[in-house]
Amino acid sequence: MTIPARRLLPMSRVIGTSLLLSISLLGGCAAMSTESDSRSGLAPDQVPTVVGTHWSFSATSSDEEAPNFLLQPPTQEQRADEEDDRLRLVGSNGCNRLMGPVTLDESRQTLDIGPLASTMKMCRNAEQSSAFNRMLEEAASYQVNGSGDSARLQIMDTSGQLLATFLAVEAIAE
């Protein structure tokens, strides 16, 4: 089949239109990526608070959930039922859900976690999950370093030995 020459666009016009379309698409993608580049939702200069920030043990792209936690105030119902106004840890050890009370002194940067309760799923790496639980219960102090997506929460034991470093994953709006 032959296409009449008058129906074909000049090659320079086709290339110019394609180039313009490509630049527009790339510009839109670039604008979208700067909006979603923030993993934590924190401004680049914002230092996250320990309470209300979702902390992850590691960044992972696998299907498995990385060990993580969030410290949050108790609900009105929890205060009434348990008569306990301590913070609550909720999270995951990578397999099972975790929950438990936390005593936090932000002025001294100390914390006392536990005892923790967890669901009891069959885990592929049960020892690793248990070790994560024990590590959290051994935590005695903390330090937040950096800001924005580079913010890190370091957890130390009573001797000041670093137990783990967590990444700020998401700042939860209050």
Are residues 105 and 31 located together in one domain of the fold?
no
For residue 99, how many other CB atoms are within 10 A of its CB?
A: 13
Range of the domain at 113: 53-171
Are residues 71 and 118 located together in one domain of the fold?
yes
Position 153 in a domain: yes
pLDDT at 19 over 60: no
Are residues 95 and 148 located together in one domain of the fold?
yes
Q: What are phi and psi of 163, to 5 degrees?
A: -95, -40
The number of angstroms, rounded, from the C-alpha of 145 to the middle of its chain's C-alpha atoms is 15
pLDDT at 128: 83
pLDDT digits (tens, 9 = 90+) for 57-94: 864 445 556 787 788 887 777 666 666 678 888 988 88
Position 43 in a domain: no
Position 23 in a domain: yes
Exposed e or buried b per residue across 7-44, where buried means at least 16 C-beta atoms within 10 angstroms of its C-beta: eeeeeeeeeeeeeeeeeeeeeeeeeeeeeeeeebbbee
Q: Contact 95/129 with Cβ under 8 angstroms?
A: yes
> Domain of 96: which CATH number?
2.40.128.270
The C-alpha angle with vertex 66 and arms to 63 and 71, in degrees rounded to 5, equals 140
pLDDT at 48 over 90: no
Q: Is 1 helix (H, G, I), strand (E, B) or coil?
A: coil
Position 42 in a domain: no
Closest CA to 74 of 55, 96, 97, 90: 90
Are residues 131 and 75 located together in one domain of the fold?
yes
pLDDT at 108: 93
Beta bridge partners of 142: 155
Are residues 87 and 136 located together in one domain of the fold?
yes
Task: Give the confidence band of 163 by pLDDT, cuts at 50, 70, 90.
Answer: very high
Q: Looking at the 3D structure of the chain, how many domains does it have?
A: 2
pLDDT at 145 over 80: yes
Are residues 79 and 30 located together in one domain of the fold?
no
Are residues 30 and 113 located together in one domain of the fold?
no
